[in-house]
Structure 1
């Protein structure tokens, strides 16, 4: 049997023409990402067994792993920035770790991205305290860069740390939230959203290693394995966990 869970409402903060225009623009380094491009809470369907246990999830915007059912104070992982294969179509793909967003209305997250604009891939890094809009870092990001990241919370204070060990830079951002529930921890490849979910960049395979929650392998939390799909079309497939903390997400369709 299956059970449908909360599908987030995506804010329309600008007129339709402005949203479309912003979606076609390359993100500006060091500035708030245009309102038409943001990472949002998970939207989709959980597939349950007859005993009410989660088998896996199908999501329109997320692929990866999410741990729920407790209070989460930290999440960590490393990944290699995938190379985007572009056509004339504008497409988008983000890779991140975060707290909240699976069944809650906030996400505290940081990661990297590859967007295709005008047939060329564009790489950058960012943080987001959803429902606020994401903010891009000015630092250089290239395909093949090795990232390591930790998001942690103490009280209402979140520390979002992202390091590109290939380029030799680290960004540590501290933010507060009075509404965060600390109810999930996730490592995700995402199709960002405008007024709806945007086409997914062909990123090949994204490999995540050392995925932990609360300092333990994420596999210890019986996490939800999430595949990305739109109707009957599978957009990205998540592998089984290896060693409780390593997995990959493979692009299937934009």
Structure 2
């Protein structure tokens, strides 16, 4: 089975400005049957809409760490195959690489697929085999130490498993940090967004500081005038919610 590709480059709608605040569900440790990517952003954001991202990006400096927690949402049945992922990462807003990891839930052939993954885009993603279920609590972080050496950590604190991955990408720009809910992409473009209901991100930090204390950009996913995934304002500078609106 092929794993979804995640290119962390958010495909942006042309500079649309928004307000500040603006089935069969079965746990499956195996990867989904579709190759999907998480794409990087192709230019800087400022309270913008994106074709495939919702969440927050922090810019305006050098970023060597990002972290957040979330509860894995459950997917609802849709009339077509649909995909969604939730992750933290460095780069992707204005750069062609992303160092990221997170979780996924896709609705494929009438059933839900849940799993966790990491990706050093432009390399392909790697899926973990551990079981992921709706309601599991996750914490994840990406840290760059020196010379493009990255440590990517993810833990399912509900089930008690965790992974720490060490990778090197010396060309990383370290120009942004993100906490994102995404509609993954394949070679044909952005895929339909799975109905995950909502996901609450908490304790979101970049460089060890609350994202709300830095230069941050809230992002809503929209396409053709239709909002797909709406992002809330920040509470306590570190917490926000992404809410599914449309496939």
Bucket of the pairwise TM-score, normalised by the shorter protein: 0.7 to 0.9
Q: How many residues align?
A: 221
Look at both structures and tell me which one has the larger radius of gyration over its CA atoms.
Answer: 1
Residue aligning to 1:203: 196
What SS class does the counterpart of residue 249 from structure 1 fall into?
Answer: strand
- Taking the aligned partners of 1:179 and 1:34, their CA distance within structure 2 comes to 31
Task: Give SS of 2:185's match.
Answer: coil
Shift of 1:88: 3.6
TM-score by length of 1: 0.83
2:129 maps to which residue? 138
Question: What does the per-residue CA deviation read over 1:17-65, in whole Å, with 9 as the maximum and x for residues that have no partner?
Answer: xxxxxxxxx9954xxx87831111125784xxxxxxx3x0100010000
Write the distance in 2 (CA, Å) between the matches of 1:111 and 1:172: 12
For 2:174 and 2:98, locate their aligned partners in 1 and report how far apart those are by CA, in whole Å: 9
Distance 1:72 1:114, change over 3 A: same
Secondary structure of the corresponding residue to residue 190 of structure 2:
coil
Look up the SS of the partner of 1:245 in the other structure.
coil
Unaligned runs of 5+ in 2: 1-8, 12-27
Q: What SS does the aligned partner of 1:178 have?
A: coil
- Select 2:180's aligned residue among 188, 192, 195: 188
Residue 106 of structure 1 pairs with residue 107 of structure 2: no
Tell me, yes or no, if structure 1 residue 178 matches structure 2 residue 177.
no
What is the aligned partner in structure 1 of residue 156 from structure 2? Answer: 164
**1:182-237, Cα deviation, whole Å (9 max, x unpaired):** 10001000000002000000000100000000000011113000000012010000
Name the SS for the 2:186 alignment partner: coil
Assess if the C-alpha contact under 8 Å between 2:29 and 2:114 holds in 1: no
Q: TM-score, normalised by structure 2?
A: 0.85
> Which ranges of structure 1 fall in alignment gaps of 5 or more residues?
1-5, 9-25, 47-53
Distance 2:142 2:180 in 1: 13
Please state how far the C-alpha of 1:120 moved relative to its aligned partner.
Answer: 1.1
Partner of 1:36: 35
Question: Quick one: distance in 2 between partners of 1:168 and 1:27?
Answer: 15
In structure 2, do the counterparts of structure 1 residues 158 and 35 end up closer, same or farther at CA, with 3 Å as the change threshold?
farther
Q: Could you tell me how far apart the structure 1 residues matched to 2:243 and 2:162 are?
A: 27
Contact 1:88 1:118 in 2 (8 A): no
SS of the residue corresponding to residue 182 of structure 1 reads: coil
Provide the C-alpha distance between the structure 2 equivalents of 1:113 and 1:99, rounded to a whole number of angstroms: 18
1:94 alignment counterpart: 85
CA contact (8 A) 2:230 2:243 kept: yes
1:20-31 residue pairs with structure 2 within 5 A? 28-29=30-31
